Amino acid sequence: MGKVKDPVCGMVIDPNTAAATSEYKGQTYYFCARGCKVAFDKDPEKYLEGEGEEAHEVGHHGRC
């Protein structure tokens, strides 16, 4: 599998080294940090509608 985009922050990551994953409607989503997974799990549709366009504060989890 090639690179994937974190649906919360939009960072392009390697799914093999993703910090976290979530299953939603039969699909696996990959995250650069646990904070992005937590945000996604609270409201997946919010992030799927925006396709990773959600703006974050600088330093929101220290990896992006």
- How does pLDDT run across 21-45, given as a tens digit for each residue? 999 999 999 999 999 999 999 999 9
DSSP for 10-55? --EE-GGG-SEEEEETTEEEEESSHHHHHHHHH-HHHHHHHTT---
Neighbours of 59 (CB within 10 A): 8
What pLDDT score was predicted for residue 51? 57
CA triplet 27, 24, 7: central angle to 5 degrees? 80
What pLDDT score was predicted for residue 39? 97
CA triplet 6, 16, 8: central angle to 5 degrees? 10
